[in-house]
Amino acid sequence: MANLNGFDANEVEPAVGFDPIPVGRYLAVITDSEMKPTKSGTGSFLELTFQVLEGEFKERLLWTRLNLDNPNATTVRIARAELSAICRAVGVMTPKDSIDLHNVPLAITVGQRKRQDTGEMTNVIKDYAKKDAAAPKPTTSGNDGKAPWKK
């Protein structure tokens, strides 16, 4: 049991569930990282926490897990490739610790997938890029130099 003496729910806004954020590209930073054991106990994964920095979904958190220690060599190869993409996006090519990746803005491409256990939709980070890639630049159409939506 835990002592909750002094806690008053009348003074704290209740937590609300979050729907997944829309598919798209977001500017974010890694705010936390931790190595955790796999459920099977045969390996471990690096869990990274990303926080969106701007826009309607500012401060929302997303997570990814990189299976860096796993008996399946393909799983490890995929995780190492994803870690390489993250390192390139934040400009830290030879991190000594996962904290070296924290608080450096990068662009993440967010998708959605259905959870196998609940059937609910959840976010998944599909790609990592340098922060300059966060927002698509407007393109011009024709010779008038106007953006296509201003015709």
- List all residues 6 or more positions away from 118 whose beta carbon is below 8 Å from its beta carbon: none
Q: In angstroms, rounded to a whole number, what is the distance separating the alpha carbons of residues 52 and 26?
A: 7
Q: In angstroms, rounded to a whole number, what is the distance separating the alpha carbons of residues 132 and 68?
A: 28
pLDDT value at 17 more than 90: no
- Which of 47, 148, 63 shows the shortest CA–CA distance to 98? 47
Domains of the chain, start order: 20-134 (2.40.50)
Q: What is the pLDDT of residue 1?
A: 76
Dihedral of CA atoms 38, 42, 46, 47 in degrees, nearest 10, equals 0
Q: In angstroms, rounded to a whole number, what is the distance separating the alpha carbons of residues 76 and 98?
A: 17
Query: Is the model more confident about 13 or about 53?
Result: 53
**Residue 146's pLDDT band (boundaries 50, 70, 90)?**
very low
**Tokens 């407007």 sit at which residue?**
138
pLDDT value at 135 more than 60: no
